[in-house]
Amino acid sequence: MLGLLHFNAYQAKFKQWPQSGRAGNITPSEGTVSLARPGRFRWETRTPTHQILLVSGNQLTIYDVDLMQVTLQKLPPQGIFNPAVLLSATPKVLASRFIITRVHQAGLDDAFILKP
């Protein structure tokens, strides 16, 4: 848990391959993810479609760049955790809602198990 205390902002590039039960061409998506505590999250895919997802507080904004379309959604209350909220929550908020155990595994610098 101590490692999480120094973690206020994060940015990374990603490339993901969707899992499919069908054989055929699977197009990977690429983009960036960034977050800043508390409560700010950005997920941007550039390929195969350019979309930007922004979370600020309890507001989700989805911008489809190709369609030039914006969708706004309210997020569920803080008691319900989605990945954006989980990643951008402060350590204090996480500790109030989860039992956090640090796991030592070969090949992992920091790993944690969070139990409600």
| pLDDT band, residue 17 (cuts 50/70/90) | confident
pTM above the 0.85 mark? Answer: no
CA dist 108 and 14 (Å) reads: 18
Decide which of 32 and 83 is more confident.
Answer: 32
pLDDT at 72: 95
Q: pLDDT of 75-111, one tens digit each?
A: 776 555 666 666 767 778 788 888 888 888 777 677 7
Decide which of 34 and 17 is more confident.
Answer: 34
| pLDDT band, residue 1 (cuts 50/70/90) | very low
CA dist 3 and 96 (Å) reads: 17
CA dist 71 and 53 (Å) reads: 10
pLDDT at 76: 73
- What are the structural domains, with CATH classification, of the chain? 29-115 (2.50.20.10)
